[in-house]
Amino acid sequence: MTDTLDRVMIFIDGSNLYHSLKSFFNRADIDMGKLGKKLLDKRRLVRIYYYNAKVGHKEEPERYRDQQAFFASVSAIPYCELRLGRLVYNNWPNTPPYEKGVDIQLATDLITHSFKNNYEVAILVAGDNDYVGALQAVKDNGKNVEVALFGKERTSRQLRVVADKVLTINARFLKGCWK
């Protein structure tokens, strides 16, 4: 059981968060600091890790500029770390780019910080099956895991099963978290 003294680390899959916000709310202008506070719920924050992939400067100059401004705002949040993978462009612009290194970096950090005893509770903001094994490893190391998910229909049932607690991100939850 968690209490207000628990040290919490929040791990955010930025691409998943962005696409979920766009899909459910038709906007993505979330204030990451306020979202973090809402997820904490009176517990002690150790750090927020935000994971994403850098857009190609040559391939998508306008999107690159917007993303750089967003990354700067994320980096300015106290106790927030920006962790970047990369986008791979093959046959651009006919084929959309794909992320490389983001999920594995998040899973590695989740497990590493667990074994270093840097938190009691990990909160994962992501919706796919890729993280189930990492969450189970964290639980097996004696930590609590919470998963923040957008709705039931587009999120992993396995994530719901492995999590100690599921936080549903809906309009009520996000009240006061928008920019």
Average pLDDT, the chain: 93
Domain count of the fold of the chain: 1
Mean local confidence (pLDDT), 69-82 = 94
pLDDT of 4 strictly over 90: no
Residue 51 located in a structural domain? yes
Residue 176 located in a structural domain? no
pLDDT of 1 strictly over 60: no
Query: Tokens 């006919």 sit at which residue?
Result: 94
pLDDT of residue 5: 77
pLDDT of residue 3: 55
pLDDT of residue 54: 95
Cβ atoms of residues 34 and 177 within 8 Å: yes
Which CATH number is 149's domain given?
3.40.50.1010
pLDDT over 90 percentage in the chain? 90
Is residue 11 very low, low, confident or very high in pLDDT (cuts 50, 70, 90)?
A: very high
Residue 178 located in a structural domain? no
Query: Structural domain of residue 109, as residue ranges?
Result: 7-168
Q: Give every CB contact of residue 162 below 8 A, 6+ residues apart in sequence.
A: 132, 135, 136, 139, 145, 147
Residue 1 located in a structural domain? no
Residue 125 located in a structural domain? yes
